[in-house]
Chain A
Amino acid sequence: MTFNTLNYSKMYNRRIAMRKGIGDAFYSLFLLSVLVGIIGLITLLVQVLTEGIPWLSWRFITSFPSRHPQEAGIFSALMGTIWLMGLTAVFTVPIGVGAAIYLEEYAPKNWLTRLIELNIANLASVPSIIYGLLGLTIFVGWMALGRSILAGALTLSLLVMPIVILASREAIKALPLTYREAAYALGATRWQVTKSVVVPAALPGILTGVILAMSRAIGEAAPVIAISALVYLTFIPTSPLDRFTVMPIQIFNWISRPQNEFRGLAAAGIIVLLIILLSMNALAIFLRNRYQVRTEV
């Protein structure tokens, strides 16, 4: 259908059908991109599940690594991961949240603040293996902590610190100004306002950020390899100065072996790792939803 009584229509060559066709063709390509992403994800998960499930058992979780695939398990790596994550959280949370509070509540607008902000943005994209080299030199070497859990935890804390700082800043920034004004109007000092109003109100957002940071740390293999090297451990660490291994390294170890059985063990280890990650993310989503409900009311 055309509208012909209008101004100067002959001056245009609108080719609407062709333009629609081009649009539709590109639409198919965009849709295809989404499908490629989703199919990639599904294929990866299916591959891991089909290879790993036959090897997954309670015995797998409670056994030490072994040269015999039938007897091998992930227990020491699982315990190493729990130790490492616990210590990492102890270092990361107070310092990361502290830095975020400083930048949001205290920092004057000057060159130092700008430098800190630029620096944090840069640190967030330094390759993780570089953090491993930092830890190897400073914590393992100069501070003489050896290839210990403590050295590993300090290294991972530095690695995920930018994530905690950025998430905590977002959570603090999202608080309505009225919260703070109400407290200041009652005569509270800046630190009182921070301690008793800002931090409690931003806590769910901060916790979400901490969980996301921990789920990044839990999957890291490269920096931990630089710290701990590839060790074969048949004991559970009992102190922060013990040697350790973690799940991603154990998985890497099994992947590197030529025998197919070890590939199955690797897949089973991946399933355990993914289940832990999934639970952490579910917890983060749960916290976020609760938080949203609370602010809406």
Chain B
Amino acid sequence: MARSADPSLVVFAWGNLSRADDGAGPELAERLRTLRLDELLIIEDMQLQIEHTADIVPDVPILFIDASVAITEGFALQRLKPRPDASVTTHALCPTALLQLYETTARRPSPPAYQLHIAGQSFELGEEPGEVNASATEAAWAYLEDLLARPPGSWGRVLECDSVERLEQARAVSATAV
């Protein structure tokens, strides 16, 4: 439970390694841990829950990592804004709802936040990740390695710039696939 006292980036990665492509988040969290970067605070769980709001560090950028059916291949990086949740369970809080909860409880603006979507297609219990997801996970890992090789103070700026470009690329990929 060693914890960074002064992180430059907070990573939330979630999913279930036993459910095929759903394990992309935990898989990347495990790889990030092997980098042993003091400036990285990594939070891994099965799902985002209410108490994760207490893991958010004021003014420190956040990167959410999860498998996603919103894109058909590769990965996408999306800038997030706080938004009230209309979902039905505490087990499945979405990142934007977590940011909204943070703003309400901390009484301050949420830090800049981004979501790394990893393309996923199958979420069946006991299955291995599919080829599309495995490829997407590798691509996302290459991106993260590149990001984290830069000075920690620049991570937030890079994510801000990339979030527009990467999402547009992903949209183009999805459109092509359709």
**Real binding pair:** no
Interface of B toward A, CB cutoff 8 Å: none
| Chain A interface residues (CB < 8 Å from chain B) | none
